[in-house]
Amino acid sequence: MPWFKKETHLLPDPRKVKFPEGLWVKCNNCRGIIYRKELIRSAKVCPKCDYHFPISVNERLAMVADEGSFSEWETAITPLDPLKFKDGQRYTDRLKRNKEKTGYPDALVLGEGKIAGRPVVLAVQNFSFMAGSMGSVVGEKLARGIERAKEKKLPLILFCASGGARMQEGVLSLMQMAKTSAAIARFQAERGLLISILTDPTFGGVTASFAMLGDIIMAEPKSLIGFAGPRVIQQTIKEKLPKGFQRAEFLLEHGMIDMVVARSAMRATLIQLLSFF
């Protein structure tokens, strides 16, 4: 006869226990489970492996620019559907849904702000809008931003986050590679300063054009950066890729970028660079 009798009717039925959704987040790098509030407190940096999660445009601007200094440009430019494209849904419907979700008309936010009192032009890609894909609006806004930075003789700081060119616009999206690269060449010919910051992920036509044309190229830790994805490359060359391939640290080691800077040190690093130049 047992000393204690387990009162099973007092225990909750595990099938009926409900846990609130969204309390935990899985890290894209180490696959560890992180308490969401802890992740927010750490500026969305994994406390286990230092992976920097993607953040919103507003969060990015708040971390870098002086409070209340940012003024957005070119807000009236909106994308069209020249190819009348349709895959799982119409391109126009996809654009509408992403605009409602993000509050922005496309995947690039452009404007003038100040960093420690110094005026700069800021261009931030919005990964939440169709994976930050580069279409005709992204290319046009960036080209206009580069031209205005040249006219005003201001440094241009570019935060990249993109899956590449926007397939729904076909060759028109690929043309933005040439347009933005030409604008940057004119800007740099006038001794304009371009600081490019690569975040996770930066891929495709964006990497193959304006993202890698900065006078100084920085990246956040553990960011995945490249043209084609590592799985595609491995299947193509039929060889095992080295550890950390296409991560920011690997690119730094092989001379593709200039520095890897933690999110917490990004503003201080930009202040130092702007002061130096």
Check: CB of residue 210 under 8 Å from CB of residue 142.
yes
Cα 59 from Cα 271, distance rounded (Å): 18
What is the 8-class DSSP label of residue 4?
S
| Helix (H/G/I), strand (E/B), else coil: 115 | strand
Cα 25 from Cα 40, distance rounded (Å): 11
What is the 8-class DSSP label of residue 134?
B
Parallel/antiparallel/unpaired status of strands 108-115 and 24-26: unpaired
- Bridge partners of residue 260, in order along the sequence: 219
Cα 149 from Cα 108, distance rounded (Å): 16
Q: What's the distance, CA 107 to chain centroid?
A: 10
Exposed/middle/buried for residue 78 (C-beta within 10 Å: 0-12, 13-18, 19+): exposed
| Helix (H/G/I), strand (E/B), else coil: 104 | coil
Give me the amino acid identity at 143: A
Cα 122 from Cα 114, distance rounded (Å): 9
Task: Report residue 209: phi and psi, to 5°.
Answer: -135, -110
Q: Considering the entire predicted model, what is its pTM? A: 0.88
- Say if residue 2 is preceded by a cis peptide, omega within 30 of 0: no
What is the 8-class DSSP label of residue 76?
T
pLDDT tens per residue across all 277 residues of the chain:
556 565 555 555 555 555 466 789 999 888 889 999 998 888 899 988 989 988 999 999 999 999 999 999 999 999 999 999 999 899 999 999 999 999 999 999 999 999 999 999 999 999 999 999 999 999 999 999 999 999 999 999 999 999 999 999 999 999 999 999 999 999 999 999 999 999 999 999 999 999 999 999 999 999 999 998 888 898 999 989 898 899 999 999 999 999 999 999 999 999 999 999 9
